[in-house]
Structure 1
Amino acid sequence: MTDLMTDAQPDPDRHAAFYSGVPAKRALAWIIDTILVTLIVTLVALLTALTALFILPLVWLTVGFLYRWVTISGRSATLGMRLMSIEFLDRYGQRFDAATAFLHTLGYSLSMAFVLPQVISVGLMLVSRRGQGLTDMVLGSVAINSRA
């Protein structure tokens, strides 16, 4: 019995270049994306005459969620991921559509809300064959070095 993921996504043994350095690139992309979200939240706060500061956690969550969902829906990668030349593939080896990007962003947001899932996710990225985090494993997705 063959695993669908093995057939649809690059094999980490035969095509190791797709996965080479991806965990470190994901970490750098996360830092870049966090800075971009912070800048957007700051702009929102300034445009609302600092009123947004009263509901800052909600603004931060909303901006972060929309940023990830919209950017991942567009080209299967956030802006930080694009700068690091990595992208997501779904379980069928295709770039994310809007629904998969939404589910991935939801999983990411939920894991960020709790310490243990986030620690598990980072640990899985470091030790799993395909460098998948917790949300990636649930969805069957992978992050790889961009093909072109």
Structure 2
Amino acid sequence: MSDAQYYGEPRPYAFVPLTEPEYFDGVLGRRFVAFLIDAVLICAPIGAAAVFIFVFGFLTFGFGWFLFSLLSPGFVIWALAYTGLTLGGPRSATLGMRAMGIEMRQSYGAPMYTLLAVLSVVLFWVSMSVLTPLVVVVGLFNARKRLLHDLILGTVVTNTKERAAGLRRYRR
């Protein structure tokens, strides 16, 4: 797929599994590993803050422990900011997704934007809490490997253009 097709005018579906299978090869497994990387990147600063508050509480004779009440809202704000800034950024991928060579796009090929990225992560967590296995199982039964929240929002996770080109060369 040329850059003009990749970033050009909107089409109904920019990524067609029958003609461009390299964009979907191994995406579900890579998406899972990317999720684990991102979970560590989101939880590590919150864990560090919890340790700091714990020690600070001793230094302030217990008064610092009231800061623990800020951890939950801080976690939500940090997770949404991380997603909005990375997934909603120009590369349309979180740091974990970049490490795994995948990206999220709108179904017609346009890059993600901040609000759609935040909606994607919120809808993912809401759907996971309500329909836990169904969210992931849906990805096994469609050619674009889209999960439930991807179908609702009109997004698709694919291999990056560079990775897809490498897979294309490997198949020949």
Q: CA deviation at 1:122?
A: 0.8
Cα distance between partner residues in 2 of 1:53 and 1:37: 17
Conservation of the 8 A alpha-carbon contact between 1:44 and 1:52: no
Please identify, of 68-77 and 21-30, the stretch whose mean Cα deviation from structure 2 is larger.
Answer: 68-77
Q: CA deviation at 1:115?
A: 4.4
Cα distance between partner residues in 1 of 2:122 and 2:19: 32
Cα distance between partner residues in 2 of 1:43 and 1:132: 34
Residue of structure 2 equivalent to 1:78: 94
Q: CA deviation at 1:88?
A: 0.6
Q: CA deviation at 1:39?
A: 0.8
1:58 correspondence with 2:63: no
Give SS of 2:104's match.
strand
Conservation of the 8 A alpha-carbon contact between 1:40 and 1:63: no
Cα distance between partner residues in 1 of 2:99 and 2:160: 10
Structure 1: 5+ residue stretches without partners: none
For residues 61-116 of structure 1, the C-alpha deviation after alignment (integer angstroms, 9 at most, x for no partner) is 2222221121101121110000000001102211102222122122123224x142
Cα distance between partner residues in 2 of 1:110 and 1:52: 27
Amino acid paired to 1:106: V
Residue of structure 2 equivalent to 1:41: 46
Cα distance between partner residues in 2 of 1:62 and 1:51: 19
TM-score by length of 1: 0.83
Residue of structure 2 equivalent to 1:100: 116
Amino acid paired to 2:115: A
TM-score by length of 2: 0.73
Taking only the aligned residue pairs, the percentage that are identical comes to 29
Q: CA RMSD in A?
A: 2.2
Amino acid paired to 1:22: V
